[in-house]
Structure 1
């Protein structure tokens, strides 16, 4: 899972930091979202997806890792 935040779209609503505080935080100076890690452990994936879906301006993008070939 790769995560990116479009800083031009982020308005600092803070839903991401509330939903997935191990992955997202907010800058002190303007409240915009920042990543604490862009490759979270699998235990954080559900929260990251929920945080991305909750972002009011869709500033968070999540790219899932491809499934390994069998």
Structure 2
């Protein structure tokens, strides 16, 4: 069984508390279904653990294994 691709990029956080009181420049990891980054699958806040790195080839989201493709 082949894994479905997921497109990943870092985006500025949208957390209201972090924006108001926290450190500046924090980025969330955002997962998209398409390479144009229009169909959002999930957003992982900067403070959660388990983010994929540039070396990661797979990621588990919503109990499914996905193939990671980084978008710049």
Does the alignment reach a TM-score above 0.5? no
Point out the structure with the larger strand share: 2
Answer 1 or 2: higher relative contact order, Cα 8 Å, separation at least 6. 1
Q: Look at both structures and tell me which one has the larger radius of gyration over its CA atoms.
A: 2
What TM-score do you get using the length of structure 2 for normalisation?
Answer: 0.23
